[in-house]
Amino acid sequence: MRLLAKGVAALAAVALLAGCGANASGTSNDSGKTTVTWWTINQSSPSADAALDKIITDFEAANPDIKIERTARAVDAHKDALRTAIGTSAAPDIYNYWAGPGLGGELVKANASADLTDYYKQYNWQDRFTGAALNPVTQYGGFQGVPWKLNGEALYYNKALFAKAGITKLPTTLDELNDTAAKLKAAGITPIEFGGTVNWHLMRLLDTFLEGYCGSAKFDQLVTNKANWGKEDCVTKSFTNLATWSKDYLNPGFIGINNDESSALFYNGKAAMALEGDWFDKNISDQKVNMNDFGVFPLPTGTGRLYGFEEAEYISKDSPHKDAAAKFLDYLTSTKVQQEVLGTFATQSVNKAVTPKAGGDALSTSWDSIFKDAKGLYMNNDQNLSLSSTTEYWRIQNLVATGGMAPDQAGAEFQKFLDSNN
Amino acid sequence: MTKLIATRLSETPGLKTRPSPKKPLLKRIAKGGFVAALPFLAPALAAYVVFVIGPMFSAVRLSLYKWSGFTTDKQVFVGFQNYVRLFTKDPVFWTAVQNSVVWVLLSLVIPTTLGLLMALALNRPVFGRNVFRSVFYIPGVLAPIAIANMWRWMYNPNYGVISDISKALHFGDGSGVTFLSDPKVAIYAIFAAFVWQVAGLNMVLFLAGLQSVSKELVESARLDGANAWQVFRNVTLPALRPTVVVVLVLTIVNSIKVFDLVVGMTGGGPAQKSQVLALWSYSQSFLNHDFGLGNATATVLLLITLVLVIPYMIWSTKGNED
């Protein structure tokens, strides 16, 4: 019996030593290479996925002592995985995340990301990125993350369907946009597609109405809890317009399908417009359709601001491989790589030395002017609001969109939630 | 005749036994060989404590704290504040409670009745009996998330077969029913998938129970002139009583914690109208990063489950001791 106990103890000790020797986050291996783990969201197109793989292959060839291990997940799974892993040995060395206060800001607040000030000095990153790209990573103090892509969102449209509905001029105000949708509907065309199960897709339309009807200053006050949602007429007007669009202009059954399913309606010419980001150029081209059949125009809010958000690459605070991770991020955002992938992840680069592609298609040319003409940026509200507030914002948005709540009650209902949670 | 059958039932071994007089607990434990069995039970017991009881207590404890779920974030004790928020300020909690209750009630009636009817039909020597048994059972072994995907496609308003049928039949306002998009219909549309999934499982349990029904009793009832309904009512059903209880309890437990199908088909939408307690607990914790509120919801769910299941546990324990 004593022998058995000794045997068990010896086995346990061996197992313990083996456990200590193995790195829980998989960041070192037998070949002596440093393995940097990188968590990203799934790319929206196969070509974007292939481009990331190529970046990794090229980097590893140039840096044989570093191996990059990328794990891609769906949006919500990515958020879940990070929340579970941050602060533990399972956390990745680098994680991709949205830079807005409601998402990236929450992780910064939770001490998930490392302040990269020293690396910004070492690699001279402050001179590399555009001012617009740097703002989201410096807003929390220090340098939290490295800008990866700044996406703008706008309205894509099918030229043939617009022509069929007799639309000759692109809308420049919300009233004109409402008229455009009415004309399309009158011509028997579904004006715009949305997939409601993911919530954030339809949110873009509500955000647009809020920016347009409330104006930039009031919009910013609302999302920072400095104005009362229940007392602003523009909020009611926005929800009223959302109700009208949901009832009359969106694809039937939109709330029961996701954005990929609804995008198929746009690709197939069954819906005239799609409210998407500049990554959507690649999605369209992946469908092997004629890119010149489609156009894009800025959201006609009248404020001149660009609707969009930034994604950054963050280095985990507890990463044991910060130097290798920073080296990879330096490569990822270098002028050479950014020039090569321009148009794959976004039409504009965060690297200010990158020049627009010569002879690009009509869509990318339109995006160049959309970014150039923009007077500031307003972010998607799931980036602006806290997670629980976003969940409630979506609930109310969907209630109004499905006729379950009168638009004039929506603002007060949301304010009630904000008041009881702050 | 009923009296005669009842008398015969009482004489059937295993159906009714005389209860033995109660002995003191310690004596019963010693006599039952509990102490001798303890070393063999210990590993499983330890695993149970670590992986089941421990997390359960941890969930209850967390329901009294405010915590974002990040290990880097501090847990702050707030007492019963999360419960107060849940019961008075949470805009979704009562919708989730209502849906969970409706789900349990419907589960007790529809898939159980269907399972019993299928079992009765396939307990006879009919052509292709084994094939039908397998076909009805297959949905029960599929992963719920796969079932959710399948049904979501069938309900798809643009390409789905069920939507096409409802359009062809001019249901709804004439243009078909948008099953998962309609806040009033969504929860029932998901429930239809649940019925498809579990009715076959219930059928298998009932089929097993039907094998224990005494053929002699059925035969003698028929000789006494009982028709098919009377045989079922007075012979089959009483003999199936233990199986019925097991099926009902399993149904309650499985339906109160329903999660996968709702996640896969609507995510609780539209506008949280198909939300259920288990999913709302998950959403509060993992999507909203509010682990206090999420665990308060989980604790409420635990209490409801215990209220429903404890009577069964007492009943089954008594059955074993007698």
CATH of the domain at B125: 1.10.3720.10
Looking at residue B291, what is its pLDDT?
94
**B143-148 average pLDDT score:** 93
**Domain that includes residue B94, residue range:** 22-129+200-321
Judged by CB atoms closer than 8 Å, whether chains meet at B72 and A399 is answered as no
pLDDT at residue B153 tops 70: yes
Closest CA in chain B for residue A393: B271
Question: Which residues of B make CB contacts under 8 Å with A?
Answer: 68-73, 85, 89, 91-92, 155-158, 163, 175, 178-183, 186, 266-267, 269-273, 283-284, 286-290
A299: contact with B, CB 8 A cutoff: no
pLDDT band at A7 (very low <50, low <70, confident <90, very high): very low
Residues of chain A with CATH 3.40.190.10: 26-151+309-341, 153-308+371-421
A88: contact with B, CB 8 A cutoff: yes
Q: Hunting for tokens 């609001």 — which residue is that?
A: A385
Closest CA in chain B for residue A265: B158
In a domain, B6, yes or no: no
Looking at residue A15, what is its pLDDT?
40
pLDDT at residue B321 tops 70: no
**Structure tokens, B201:** 């499982």
Looking at residue B29, what is its pLDDT?
66
Average pLDDT, chain B: 85
The pLDDT tens digits of the residues spanning A38-52 come to: 999 998 788 889 999
How many domains are contained in chain B? Answer: 1
**Phi, psi for residue B89 in degrees, rounded to 5:** -120, -15
**B287-310 average pLDDT score:** 91
Looking at residue B124, what is its pLDDT?
84
Interface of A with B in 125-164 (CB under 8 A): none
The pLDDT tens digits of the residues spanning B168-199 come to: 777 766 556 778 888 889 999 999 999 999 99
The yes/no answer to whether this complex scores an ipTM above 0.90 is no
- Choose the weakest-confidence range: A60-64, A206-210, A226-230, B134-138: B134-138
Report the gap between the CA of B182 and the closest CA in chain A (Å).
Answer: 7
pTM, full prediction: 0.80
CA angle B287-B288-B292, nearest 5°?
115
A–B CB contacts, 8 A cutoff, strictly below: 112
What CA–CA distances, in Å, run from B203 to A377, B135, B139, B199? 60, 11, 12, 6
E strand or H helix that includes residue A309: strand A306-315
Q: What is the DSSP letter of A22?
A: S
Judge: domain A153-308+371-421, CATH 2.40.50.140: no
CA angle A72-A202-A285, nearest 5°?
55
Residues in B closer than 8 angstroms to A254, CB to CB, are 181
Closest CA in chain A for residue B178: A253
Residues in A closer than 8 angstroms to B186, CB to CB, are 256
Residues in A closer than 8 angstroms to B181, CB to CB, are 196, 253-257, 402
**DSSP states along B134-202:** HHHHHHHHS-HHHHHHHHHHHH-TTT-HHHHHHHHTT-BTTTB--TTT-TTTHHHHHHHHHHHHHHHHH
Find the CB nearest A83 among B269, B273, B289: B289
Looking at residue A23, what is its pLDDT?
42
Judged by CB atoms closer than 8 Å, whether chains meet at A253 and B283 is answered as no
Looking at residue A18, what is its pLDDT?
40
A250-289 residues labelled b (16+ CB within 10 A) or e (exposed): bbebbbbbebebbbbbbbeebbbbbbbbbbbbbbbbeeee
- The 3-state DSSP class for residue B319 equals helix
Looking at residue B9, what is its pLDDT?
45
Tally of CB atoms within 10 A around A409: 16
Are the C-beta atoms of residues A397 and A207 closer than 8 Å to each other?
no
In a domain, B138, yes or no: no
| Farthest CA pair distance, chain A | 92
Q: At what angle do helices A200-223 and A233-248 cross, to 10 degrees?
A: 170
* A369, A371, A372, A375 alpha-carbon torsion, rounded to 10°: 130
In a domain, B106, yes or no: yes
Q: Cβ neighbours of residue A77 under 8 Å, at least 6 residues apart?
A: none
In a domain, B212, yes or no: yes
- Give me the amino acid identity at A235: V
Judged by CB atoms closer than 8 Å, whether chains meet at B287 and A76 is answered as yes
**A118-139 average pLDDT score:** 91
The architecture of the domain spanning A26-151+309-341 is 3-Layer(aba) Sandwich (3.40)
